[in-house]
Amino acid sequence: MHVSLNRKNIRYKLFSFLFVAFILSSCGVKREATWSKEYATSAQTEVVNYSMQYLHKPYQAGGKGPHAFDCSGFTFYVFKKFGYKLGASSEEQDRQVPTIQRKEDLQVGDLVFFEGQKRNGKVGHVGIVTEIGSGGEFKFIHASTNNGVIISASTEPYYASRYLRGGRVLKETATQRAAVSTRAPKNIQKKKPTIKALETDSDTIIIHSRPSELQREKTTSQSHNEKKVKRKNESDAVLTRRQTAVPPPEKNPA
């Protein structure tokens, strides 16, 4: 009888241990998304960095900054800094920018639109993507009603259940930034000296147009000889003129 009770206790403990192990394995630690800003362009990075300056500013209905904001007033204020004029409400901004339907296509600096508290399918909230995670997850900065300007994650139940779509304000994309021009720089070719070819019975002899030392000496010698001949001719001509200018002697009469 005693042995039977021990076996029941062992079975009960074993069953309890397996049950607890199963519960713990099913409630394991949730994997966090890997967030990245690696592919942000310079313009996208500037927008996000500028928006971060207003973290923890209070919420104010109709507030357009810089000391207090509502959601659309915050996005309006941030993008105004970079020359973009967005609409006054989140609905207007949604109609104004190109739509991004898939979460996987979102990029840093994009707008993200959510339903409001009424859950009626209409845009009632907007924020700016600050980081991109795996599987279409993202973080965004926005002016929330209760906490002012904060950073939230798309995985939070309130925003996950109200997400509608994204919108792109910035024209520069990560793909455009990564595209590097493949044009090679033009090489500056030095001018080669002109050459002449003399055809012979055997091979073709290439002679540079620049005269050789022998040719220069020969040319110099010919020029010198020509000058000597010219001076001699000039001297003979002068002598002839002098002789012609002297009158012949007169003959005595007989």
| Alpha-helix runs per DSSP H in 82-209 | 90-96, 157-160, 174-178
Distance from the first to the final alpha carbon of the chain: 200
Helices (H) and strands (E) in the chain, counts: 7, 8
Give CA–CA dist 71/54, Å, rounded.
12
Active-site positions? 71, 125, 142
**Integer angstrom CA distances of residue 118 from 122, 123, 160, 166, 179:** 9, 10, 15, 20, 43
Q: Which residue is it, tokens 């033009």?
A: 186
Nearest Cα to Cα of residue 94 among 117, 54, 121, 69: 121
